[in-house]
Amino acid sequence: MQGQVPAGQVVGRVIAIANQKGGVGKTTTAINLAVAIADTGRRVLLVDLDPQGNATSGICPPQDVSAARGEGKTIYQALVGGLAIAEILRQVRPTLSLAPAGDDLVGAEIELVTMEGRERRLRALLEPVRGEYNYVLIDTPPSLGILTLNALVAADSVLVPMQCEYYALEGLSALLGTINKVKAALRPGLEIEGLVLTMFDMRNRLSHEISAEVRKHFPEKVFRSVIPRSVRMSESPSHGLSVLEYESKSAGAEAYRALAAEIMAHREESR
């Protein structure tokens, strides 16, 4: 278990990375943002709350993924099975820990429904350990079910990756509606961390049009950093690496470093 962060630092900001649409770069953002922040020396916890487990397989060598899942020490065992989250954590980089997910998480959507305080189980799990980290990032499923609800209730803020495509704004309005309902009923302090444009193609006119439209509607909430469409970014998870490690000088790596810097700078300003 990692030691306490030095006294005087603001610690434990919990950010849910969410979008009910699939294929928007959510897990890619979770992995690369976690590594980018950890590379600055901040302590980071990445929680894989997606039953597909792609954040787990995308940041660990295959043998480590198999070990974590084979031991049954996954986020499912903490959420449903009663294990303390400290028992499932794996240190995957010097200042980056992972709460891994496995196939068993598929059943959590059904099992959590009958449990007392089902929407607050992740929040309760994180409470004992969040003081040991500067940032806790939660990768969520591409849906608005009970797992995503747990992430939103546990979070201080929501980071929304948005692909620059025709239906992006339509999906965003549904997500913002859900966030507002969670804020009103379960998590009054929940904020929008920001919107990050992903899979941006400089040569595609539609990408520029969607970007302009989103910035017009949410001028204060869209990050300056834009994540480009990138072959290197697509290749890196198969090696259990972030794009920052797989191709450190690529456009994708630079974009995630810039996004991490924006998030950290915003937090410093808001102290």
Question: Domain map of the chain by residue range?
Answer: 13-269
Strands 191-198, 90-93: parallel, antiparallel or unpaired by DSSP?
Answer: unpaired
CATH number for the domain whose boundaries are 13-269: 3.40.50.300
Type of residue numbered 50: D
Instruction: Per-residue pLDDT tens, the chain, 271 aa: give them.
Output: 334 444 344 558 999 999 988 888 899 999 999 999 999 999 999 999 999 999 999 998 777 767 666 666 899 999 998 899 999 999 999 999 999 998 889 888 889 988 888 999 999 999 999 999 999 999 999 888 899 999 999 999 999 999 877 777 777 888 888 899 999 999 999 999 999 999 888 788 888 888 888 888 888 899 999 999 888 888 998 888 999 999 999 999 999 999 999 999 987 666 5
Choose among 246, 258, 249, 260: nearest CA to 134.
260
d(CA 219, CA 140): 25
Query: Of 48, 54, 34, whose CA–CA distance to 79 is shortest?
Result: 48
